[in-house]
Structure 1
Amino acid sequence: MLWNETCFQLLNQTKLPGKLEYISCSDYKVVADAIKRLEVRGAPAIGAAAAFALVLGARQIQDKQGDFLSNLLIIAQELRETRPTAVNLFWAIDRMLSVASRYKTGDNISHIIDDLEKEAIAIANEDKDVNRRMSEHGATLFNTPCAVLTHCNAGALATVAFGTALGVIREAWSQKKITRVYADETRPLLQGARLTAWELKQEDIPVTLITDNMAGWVMKQGMVQAVIVGADRIALNGDVANKIGTYSVAVLAKEHGIPFYVAAPISTFDFNIKSGEDIPIEERDADEVTSLAGVRIAPEGVDVFNPAFDVTPNELVSAIITEYGVLRAPYFDQIVNLKNRMKGE
């Protein structure tokens, strides 16, 4: 994503790997639609995009009749409704609104917008630093060279830069601790095939693409020694919501005695929910399942269940990698300590 003070540009991830296409956004609704359509996706990237969308929206209502702050809250609510599971979206919006709340009705609107822009830029810049720190902590989990499996896409495309799970992989690869990456294709929208494989190929990191239902056999054959994925929301007890199919991979990893790691920034933790039972799971359009690359592959009228995410119970998670270090069970205690640490900063 690129910000040039007047226009926000997003790389259209639905066009990859075939085409590099940027979406120019001068209207917050364009960003909101891009989030809904997965043109921008990945929890940290969605959060940063929503922050810049609020800046665009603030400019759009600058001369609108009525109370500026009330109108800004309406825009914020529209953005909240784009995707319900990725908590970074709500975290970024709340952070932006906290800046706006410092002002009162009648204050200079230009000053509010300037401060909103500064905050959005800070969110983006912090994400870059967070990913680097997380990657360094995650690389310490790999002591001997090994192959790893990942699901969906948790790379630079899913963040502002570098990535969460793929960031750890990049760092560990640079330290010669990872020899190969097995990437699940990740049905129904193939983020692993289209995005993860593309990112790794760009950096000449050895990658083997597999279908989702091959993961168990790959583990059985001893072809991977660890799994690392990203997250869209983490509860207080360490339950992890991530792209649908992650739970299956975690169960398989447990069966084969393979560590299952999650890499996520603090902005992905939801300190307000006790367990994964409280995480809202987005269900998407049936067309994503019944069609592939625009070609229908299922009978007309067939019933479809299409949750975008699932929840992996904390007992299946070997460690959670954050910018503050690596967390291990019991997760509730560690996450509460982390929450208290955040309050003190």
Structure 2
Amino acid sequence: MRLVADSPAVAHIEESWPEFARDPRHVRLGLASDGVSPYSIKSSTYSTWPVTLMNYNISPWLATKKGFIILALIIPGPKQTTNFDVFLQPLVEELSQLWQGVSDVFDGRTHRIGRDRWFTLRGIMMWTMHDYPGYGIVSGFQTKGYCACPTCAVDLPYSWSYQLRKVVYMEFSTFLPLDHPFRGVGEDRNLDPPPIARTMDWWENTWMDVQDGRRQQDESGLRRWSLLHQLPYWKHLQIHHLLDPMHIEANVINEDGSETMPSAPWVLRKEERKVLCQRISKIRFPTGFGSYLRKAFKTDKTTWPSDLKSHDFHILLQHALPTCLHGQATPQLREAVYDLF
């Protein structure tokens, strides 16, 4: 975890506009949006899109608090909007005006000599934040179906799966190192390089080709040219859109609840647990200080006892497990337990 002020994107802004970075009172903003149900009913199809602004001039632990978030827009439902720019236009006009400067702003916290308490306030929106479906709605890029990667555009191979009834992207091995086992072996080894990342200038030229009829819009990966490009600084930013990884992971897991996640490395199968309990129950210590383990672990038991004391756990970790795990579990787990012995 790092502060926003330490990110390369903020350093790029300060290098590109040094007069803006010279005054720390100039506002750095971030836009966040997502569809929510206002009635807290998961089965409801009503979708409302709040658009909020985060102020990064304040402390990081305050920027996301309720009292410091600016509610800029509320896009009503009941369905998800198809043209986000219609609702975003008033906000873009105000952000453009804020970049040019708002004069006669009073600074009530300035007490130092030499700094004018009346100054011209400027502000910049550094990026937008959303999940992957919201990425397509805000940016205008295609994020589902064909050409669904704004970074790779049309260079990312795709195909239609008749079994899944959807577009799939199977050439993921091109993003892996050349010595990765998923690259394949022998004649099936994939040595293709990853697609070249597209820049904003490339997308602008592509949209001009679509407008002039030299390219089909369905094959371009663009649904529309976002209104955010009317901001005078938007084209020159290093980062335009941020993805929320935790939000995306929650969307994938909660899709239909039928996903099967692999077990953790320290989880033993039922047969392995039974063998482990049998081995622990047959251990004989010279001085008898671990005699209770014979009673706690029965030969036909596959669950962990719930009445063990801290002394029993100490004996298990220091004496029993390093011996009883021989031939059980994964080599990484056994090595970790052996290092504790």
Normalising by the smaller structure, the TM-score range is: under 0.3
Name the larger-Rg structure. Answer: 2
Larger RCO, structure (CA 8 Å, separation 6 or more) = 1
- TM-score normalised per structure 1: 0.22
- TM-score normalised per structure 2: 0.22
Structure with the higher fraction of residues in helix conformation: 1
